[in-house]
Amino acid sequence: MGTVTRIAVLDDYQRGAADYADWDSLGDGVDVDFLHEPIPRERLPERLAGYEVLVVMRERTRFDAATLAQLPKLQLVVTTGMRNASLDVEHLTERDVTVCGTGLASSYETPGVPTTSEVAWALILAAVKRVTAEDRALRAGRWQTGLPANLGGATLGLAGLGRLGASMVGPARAFGMDVIAWSQNLTTERAAEVGVEAVSKDELLGRSDVLSIHLVLSERTRGLFGALELSQMRRTAVLINTSRGPIVDERALVDALADGTIAAAGLDVYDVEPLPVGHVLTNLDNVVLLPHLGYVSEATLRDMYEQVVQDIAAWRDGSPIRTID
């Protein structure tokens, strides 16, 4: 395998990737560029045409077949995570471009709640207790502009009961909440194992005081929560999404928040990321917005980038690891 000359590390918004792994260990003749700003989709081919290796953050920058076809030198793509819905892996495979990923960050394996679930709880508390709304009001000279709700005795609904969904249960119990769950594949055995009640989708929507989404984005889950589903929720309910933006119909959510179909939302993910300046969501007072911080911590990023360097080194040695087909 030939020597890699140029590597582009995309989406390094926190400007930490250069320090989070030993890129020098890749040896001489390797030129690594760290790109800190999002690249407009139409400029991706022009900006990246000279690179043999792309390092991409899972589902931040979309690379469809048309874009990838304009990157003639591309030989390796490394994505954080072991799946990336924004990357046309089939196209890359057909071109014999190697695709590698990273495994579960060790920060997820430490005791306690995973960082994504911590962010979900931050959004729940901010929305239910009106943290950001009252912060804005207080800075503007207004005092106690609304009434926070109580979590004790309320019902947390989980859409998805995998690793992240299940990690929401402990904190909910500590707050004195009842917990129900639904997903398309959820079994009563899995629900019993986690200690929650398995319900139908209609029950999930109708009974949840807080509905938190923990599903993988796929064609089956895209648009899973639209206008009809939001209309089935309580007017006092709060919707939390730390999974992927397109799982919720964004236009329907904006309308539901604007007309009071639901009380509030807490969002860490969006249809387009970064969220465009002036987006309608930024003008709504009953939504708490975060810039996709669900998995962002120094420990997690260090682990991811260390694995990225391992992937590149193994590929250069002719024995790729953590390959994605």
- Looking at domain 6-105+298-316, its CATH superfamily turns out to be NAD(P)-binding Rossmann-like Domain (3.40.50.720)
Single out the catalytic residue among 59, 214, 273, 302.
Answer: 273
| Residue 47 to residue 133: CA distance in whole angstroms | 40
pLDDT recorded at residue 105? 56
Single out the catalytic residue among 58, 214, 292, 302.
Answer: 292
Please indicate whether residue 197 is annotated as part of the active site: no
pLDDT value at 231 more than 50: yes
Single out the catalytic residue among 58, 130, 244, 316.
Answer: 244
Which stretch of 85-89, 103-107, 133-137, 242-246 has the lowest confidence by average pLDDT? 103-107
Query: Are 204 and 229 in contact, with CB atoms under 8 Å apart?
Result: no
| One fold for 6-105+298-316 and 115-289 | yes
pLDDT recorded at residue 60? 83
- First CA to last CA distance, the chain: 20
Please indicate whether residue 273 is annotated as part of the active site: yes
pLDDT recorded at residue 107? 47
Which stretch of 111-125, 177-191, 200-214, 216-230 has the lowest confidence by average pLDDT? 111-125
* pTM assigned to the model: 0.86
Structure-token pair, residue 49: 């045409």
- To the nearest whole number, what is the mean pLDDT of the chain? 94
* pLDDT tens-digit map of 6-50: 999 999 988 999 999 999 999 988 999 999 999 999 999 999 999
Please indicate whether residue 219 is annotated as part of the active site: no
128-157: burial string, b at 16+ Cβ within 10 Å, e else: bebebbbeebeeeeeeeeeeebebeebbbb
Torsion of CA 272, 116, 201, 223, to 10 degrees: 10
Q: Give percent of the chain with pLDDT exceeding 70.
A: 96
* pLDDT tens-digit map of 253-288: 999 999 999 999 999 999 998 899 999 999 999 999
Q: Where are the domains of the chain?
A: 6-105+298-316, 115-289
Residue 176, judged by CB atoms within 10 A of its CB (0-12, 13-18, 19+), counts as exposed
Tell me the fold of 115-289.
Rossmann fold (3.40.50)
